[in-house]
């Protein structure tokens, strides 16, 4: 609390009252400039951007090649409306991205962020069902906990109560199954058996809901904010695909946080050779240089929708040439600097250091993740994995203390948004 107060006072002392507002009254210093892993504030204080903001700036800040590519595009055109013109950067980025996608996923719809990418995926899935005469399908099953975005459609599939509750009457809440939190289980099953059991919850839910009403299943292949980099046992991933195939249900991978190289492969799902039907990407795609996201779908979904009159969906900034030029240059940096390999190597190093901390501090109950999408979960008791009392707000206290000492890290509640650190 004291850290928070100091930061708030420091941040706002010399500044006039603000007309901005976001989540709370908490204020932060003005960012002045950024380079590589560092951000400098208005007072010249240098902070390590350890979490790349909210896992966004995957290639580092102020990359010269990206800035130059953006300037070149700016000198040509910053906007050309997609109903009037196509543009080369969008075309080029789509082609390059498809090279990183599982086979068949070769249709790209650009958006400006993660929530928009998820909304687009849900709507394409629904329009596909209508186009192929399966209009009874509309339910999208997701996991609890999970995070898929803040717009009402994406929120309906999100499993994070604190963010969702106020809006329940305004949206169509969707069915959830328990996320594969096998690290919490204290039974006699092996991890592989647990993976199958968690995946089978999907089949149970499909049967309970009525298979003809279920449209899709959406999941984060490597968890993000709401679960702290949750990784399912290996057996989970192929079993999920099997179940989706059995009932004709689409599999949507939300790779907004786990994609674009953060886990050491371009897609989080690549660790298991997953074959989703639709992928949502954002964050590291534009890497903070421009708001950018993408929904990438299997051609077999897109063709029937276009044949039946088109995709009834769009955003003014979809496929913006400046954002796509930035995204293209970001992708080139990932390739030229071998950042996938780097994320795997550095991730392994950070992980082993976190594991060493866990040996020293019994309140670190689990270290998990892939590549540089890593988390340490704080608990009260290793035997039961009981969370710390929630009023202690341990997760945000650690984040505040790190911030005070010049390191940005990122935290969230891991147990459905109400407790867990």
Assess contact for 323 and 73: CB atoms under 8 A: no
CA distance 34 to 47: 9
375 binds ligand PMP (CB under 6 A): no
For 122, 140, 213, 278, the CA distances from 128, given in Å and listed in that order, are 10, 14, 14, 12
Instruction: Compute the half-sphere exposure of residue 246: CA atoms within 13 Å on the CB side of its CA.
Output: 13
Q: How far is 395 from 272, CA to CA, in rounded Å?
A: 30
Task: State the minimum distance, in angstroms, from the CB of residue 151 to ligand PMP.
Answer: 7
- What is the secondary structure of 12-76 as a DSSP string? HTTSPPPS---SSS---PPEEEEEBTEEEETT--EEE-TTHHHHT-TT-BS-HHHHHHHHHHHHH
Q: Is 250 in the site for ligand PMP (CB under 6 A)?
A: no
Which residue, 23, 19, 26, is CA-closest to 5?
26
Task: Select the residue interacting with ligand PMP from 147, 217, 236, 272 (CB under 6 A).
Answer: 147
Which residue of 29, 89, 102, 113 would you call a contact of ligand PMP, by CB under 6 A?
113
Residue numbers 271-300 binding ligand PMP by CB under 6 A:
282
Nearer to ligand PMP, 257 or 339 (CB): 257
Among 157, 256, 305, 367, binds ligand PMP (CB under 6 A): 256
Is residue 118 at the binding interface for ligand PMP, with CB under 6 A as the rule? yes
Among 257, 305, 318, 325, binds ligand PMP (CB under 6 A): 257
**Helix/strand/coil for 317:** coil
Q: Which is nearer to ligand PMP, 181 or 282 (CB)?
A: 282
Cβ atoms of 226 and 414 within 8 Å: the answer is yes
Count of residues of this chain found to bind ligand PMP when the rule CB under 6 A is applied: 16
Out of 82, 126, 148, 313, point to the residue binding ligand PMP (CB under 6 A): 148
Which whole-number Å values give the CA distances from 406 to 196, 326, 375, in the listed order? 43, 28, 19
Q: Residues 7, 54, 346, 398: which binds ligand PMP (CB under 6 A)?
A: 54
How far is the C-alpha of 88 from the C-alpha of 275, rounded, in Å? 29
Structure tokens at 23: 């989540």
Q: Segment 197-226, which members bind ligand PMP (CB under 6 A)? A: 220, 224-225
Shortest CB 56 distance to ligand PMP, Å: 8
Stretch that binds ligand PMP, among 9-17, 60-68, 77-85, 253-261 (CB under 6 A): 253-261
- In the complex with ligand PMP, the residue whose CB is nearer, 55 or 339, is 55
Give residues in contact with ligand PMP (CB under 6 A). Answer: 54, 113-115, 118, 147-150, 220, 224-225, 254, 256-257, 282
């Amino acid at each position: 609390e004291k850290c928070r107060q100091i930061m708030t006072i420091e941040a706002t002392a010399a500044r006039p009252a603000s007309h901005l507002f976001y989540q709370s009254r908490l204020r932060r210093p003005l960012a002045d400039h950024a380079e590589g892993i560092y951000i400098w504030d208005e007072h010249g204080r240098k902070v390590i951007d350890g979490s790349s903001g909210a896992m966004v700036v995957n290639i580092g800040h102020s990359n010269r090649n990206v800035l130059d590519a953006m300037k070149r595009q700016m000198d040509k055109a910053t906007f050309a409306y997609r109903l009037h013109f196509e543009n080369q950067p969008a075309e080029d980025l789509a082609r390059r991205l498809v090279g990183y996608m599982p086979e068949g996923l070769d249709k790209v719809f650009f958006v400006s962020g993660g929530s928009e990418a998820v909304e687009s995926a849900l709507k394409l899935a629904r329009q596909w069902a209508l186009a192929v005469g399966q209009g009874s399908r509309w339910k999208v099953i997701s996991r609890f906990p999970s995070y898929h975005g803040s717009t009402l459609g994406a929120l309906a599939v999100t499993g994070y109560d604190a963010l969702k509750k106020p809006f329940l009457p305004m949206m169509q809440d969707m069915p959830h199954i328990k996320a594969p939190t096998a690290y919490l289980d204290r039974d006699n099953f092996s991890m592989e058996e647990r993976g199958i059991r968690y995946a089978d919850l999907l089949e149970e839910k499909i049967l309970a809901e009525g298979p003809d009403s279920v449209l899709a299943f959406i999941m984060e292949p490597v968890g993000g904010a709401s679960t702290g980099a949750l990784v399912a046992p290996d057996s989970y991933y192929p079993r999920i695909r099997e179940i989706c195939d059995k009932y004709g249900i689409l599999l949507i991978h939300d790779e907004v946080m786990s994609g674009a190289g953060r886990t050491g492969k371009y897609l989080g799902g690549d660790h298991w050779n997953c074959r989703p039907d639709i992928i949502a990407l954002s964050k590291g795609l534009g890497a903070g240089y421009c708001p950018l996201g993408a929904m990438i779908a299997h051609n077999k979904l897109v063709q029937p929708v276009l044949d039946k009159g088109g995709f009834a969906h769009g955003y003014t900034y979809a496929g913006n040439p400046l954002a796509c030029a930035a995204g293209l240059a970001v992708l080139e940096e990932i390739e030229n600097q071998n950042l996938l390999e780097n994320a795997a190597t550095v991730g392994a190093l950070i992980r082993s250091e976190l594991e060493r901390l866990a040996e020293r501090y019994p309140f670190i109950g689990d270290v998990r993740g892939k590549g540089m999408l890593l988390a340490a979960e704080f608990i009260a008791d290793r035997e039961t994995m009981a969370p710390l009392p929630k009023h202690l707000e341990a997760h945000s206290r650690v984040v505040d203390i790190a911030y005070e000492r010049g390191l940005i890290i990122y935290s969230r509640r891991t147990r459905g948004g109400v407790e867990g650190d």
